[in-house]
Structures are given as structure tokens and as C-alpha cells.
Structure 1
Amino acid sequence: MNVLFQKKRKYATIPSTAAKHVVPEGLANKCPKCGAIQFSTELEKSLKVCTACGYHFMLNAAERILMTLDEGRLFEYDSDMISEDPLEYKGYPDKIKSAIEKSGLKDAVVTGEGTIGGFPVVIGVMSFEFFGGTLGSVVGEKIARAIESAAQKKYPLILFSTSGGARVQECIFSLMQMAKTSAALSKFHEQGGLFISVLTDPTYGGVTASFAMLGDYILAEPGTRIGFAGPTVIEQTIRQKVPENFQRAESNLKHGQLDKVVHRKDLKAMLAKIMDMHVSKEEAAYGR
């Protein structure tokens, strides 16, 4: 295991007077929901939540880990795992290489252990920036191994999901990960393990149809899109428009598919509170 991700300070540069009317790239962000312009430094302070309308910006794995784990410290599992090309799908190796270069990740999930509010946990964090967070062989294997580690150590398990669905370039190998992760969670449940599933925007396809919806607690951030098929596909199938809030976290909560919708600023405290109800820090630290 190695220590991954530690908090770093970032400082914005002041634009020159010659370019005072030009906003340098990365200095400010426009909210896709309300259009408000916010400085990147201010957006970081608000945990990447729009202060005007409450829109939750998408986070990558590193940002999520820094916001969630104590001191932003993760002892990473399986950091050397990289997707192969079992079906010799045309162009797939090049796409994997490009995704690695752009995201800095080896695949669409980072797993490991750390603490939240002093409670030791095994955690998995998916990242949409890597191949749309798609579920492939590496993602399924890393999550299954994380579940097994949580069972062995008797730690709570927390998975943050975001995904466009199964990875078509791996076909049946991708779909097999749904059964593998679900079976691992079933065994974990039988052993009395605590699994908290956190859905983030967006969570679709095979991830929703497997481990993401099998938590003892299922939480979601406000506005998260959750479903199997996307609204465009559904509209084309049924040939009618779906409601505006269709598949949003708030609608899923209303229909009993979630336990709670939690604002990002309250999420870490909520996770610690749930663990406090189920296991003491001493029990977790010494394997119950």
C-alpha cells in the first residue's frame, strides 16, 4: 500500500493589467445550472458547490478523497491494475492510454483505506473523468477486493459511485462484474459488514443495477441523476417526454429508492454519524 493524495494549497495568479478583461483559464468557473461566475478558489472553499443555486459540481477521485477522509489521506489498494484488451476491441488500448494521461488515474475507481471522523474504513471512489466512470474488469475486480478487505479487517465499507454504465469495449467481461461485486456484497452482508453506498452525479447502467443500490444505507448528493437507461433513451422508447425531475436524487428519494439526500458539506459528518451508530472506534480499530 502507498499513501495517496494529501492536501495541497493552491494559489490563484493575478492577471496582468494588459489582460484585465480576460478571465484566465482555470481562474473562474461558470455554474452550468444558474450561470453564476465564481472564482476557483471560492468554489474550492464551498466544496465545489455553487453558492448561488446549490448546484454540486462533479468531483474527480482525488477531490472526493481529500474532502472525505481525515487529512485527505488514503492508503491505496491495487494501484498497479490496468485494463487489458481481452476482446481485441479496435482502438480500445489507445482510449485507455488517453484516459490514463488525461485523468492521472489507472482506471475509473480508486480503492483503499483511511479514516472518517476517526473511524477506520475501506473506501472506493469512482471517477467519471476516466472513461465516463464505466464498469470494466479492473473496476469490478478492485471493488470486489475492497469488499473482501473490509470483511477481513471488519471495517465499514463506503463506495462513491458515478458511472455511465458498463464498458462496451469489454462486453461480457464488463457485465460479469455486476454479478461478482453483488456476490461479494452478499457475503459481506452475511458476515455482518456495514456498507454505505453514496451515489454522485451521474450514476447509470450496470453500476446502478449492481453494487450502487445494495447498500445498508443508500445516500445521494442533491441533483444526482440515477437510473439504468438515460432519459433520452427512455423518451425514444416510450415516445413521450419524461418529467423535469425524472431520475434526480430527490425523485428517487420520494419513491423510496434512497435513504437520504445529503448536501456535500454535510456528507462526511453523516458518514461518521452512521458509523457511530453501528460500531465504536475501538471495535473498528481492533477488528471487533
Structure 2
Amino acid sequence: MSKKNSFESEKVNAHIVNWLKSYIEGSSIKGFVVGISGGVDSAVTSTLCAQTGYPTLCVEMPIHQSANQVSKGREHINQLKVRFPNVNSVEADLTASYDLFKHNMPICEDEGRYYLTLANTRARLRMTTLYYFAGIHGSLVAGTGNKVEDFGVGFYTKYGDGGVDLSPIADLMKSEVYALGAYLNIPESIQHAAPTDGLFGDDRTDEDQLGASYDELEWAMLEDEKGSIEEDFSGRQKEVIKIYKKLNNNNQHKMKPIPVCLIPNEIK
């Protein structure tokens, strides 16, 4: 499943940094807030924000997080603070807040739906926390979603990690985020780690949840844009196209504007 290979990291980096600077210049906004997960997307996004020269606050928000995820996030933050004097960090441990919320909510009999809802609750607690810090610092929340997640399969939580002020890397495929991460010298531990959202408190990866790798989903997204259908393929390719189309269809409610019931003028 081959993909195009014309990505120019240096030019893309400069373009995004200039876009971020242009967005914030002339406004009353003072800087950026970025949630740090220990993954490549948040590492790249925070590095792009740091390059603007504006204050960039990296926020760790562990909720029963694995030590491995926490250590990768901290390694990145420490590296970023050495490289950029405008970068600061803060840790907001949300474990107690999450546990209290969970304790006060009824248990759903549908186990799968229950644990998915709790995973989304973690993401929404983090969104609220990011906006708290953005509010007190007069900053914008920078989103960390990439193109295949945000516009392909909808792999994010509505009003969770999908609740942001601006999206610097949402036009980049995951492979392009990795290429940019290598150019930006983010920690090797992050570059080579299996992507995971860390929302379930276990070691499941994004591929475990999606049923396909990001490389496969990128290929399927490009094929879908060309109008390809399942019947055009066989074997694994056919299976991946099917997975992509199902996820894309099921998550349209995340990717489209909120429906508004328009009332005809004659009955208002």
C-alpha cells in the first residue's frame, strides 16, 4: 500500500510556524497550551508552537497513566524546555477527579459501551483542564489531531481532544507527522513507540482499536478520495477499505458541523 513521497519537512515546518504566528499576531492572545500525551502528535504540535516564540505551556494530565507514557511525555517536555526558553510545563493529575466522577455515575450493563464512555470521559476532563490553563494564561488550546484521525476515521473524542481552538497538524497524514517529528528531533522513544490514546488504562494501541495501521488507513483514505470501492480490491486491501469506510461513516457526526434545526420564517 504505497503512498506519495514528496513531503518537504523543512518547508512544511516553516509554513505551519508562520501560520501559527500569523493567527496570533495582532490579537490579545498571549500564547499556546498543548496537552502532552507522550505521543508523536502532541510532541510535534508543541514543538511547532514553541518555534513561534510565543509562550507555550505543555500540560501533562495523567489519569491512571502507565509509567511508560508518562516518561515519554516528560522526556519530550524536558528536551523542549532546554531548546526553547518560551516553553513552560505543568502537571495536573486528574486521577482523583476521574475516580470521583466515576464513583458518582451509574454503572452501565453494556460493558463495552460503559468502558468506551469512561474513556471519552477521560478525554473530556483533559479538554476542560486545557481550557482552564488557556483561560488563566490568555492562551489558545492547540489541537494535536492529524488528518486521518480528524477527517478520515474520526478517531478522537467529540468535545474531548476534538475540542480545540486551532489545529496545526490536521492537514498532515500520520506518516507526515512522523516525518516532521524526525526533522524536529523529537525523542527517539516517541518516534518509535506504537501510537496509543492511553484512554483505557491498559496497553492497547490505536491499531488494536481501529483494526488497521495508520499506513493502511492513509492508503484507504486516499483511495476513498479517488472514489474507490471495496469491490475494486481483494484480500487485506479490501478489508482495510471496508474498515475505513465503516469508521468514516459511523463518525460523520464528529466531522460535520452540528445540525441546526432551522425554523421557517413564516412560523417564527
Superposed pair shares fold, TM > 0.5: no
**Which one has more relative contact order, counting CA pairs under 8 Å at least 6 apart?**
2
TM-score after normalising by structure 1: 0.29
Which of the pair is proportionally richer in helix?
2
TM-score after normalising by structure 2: 0.30
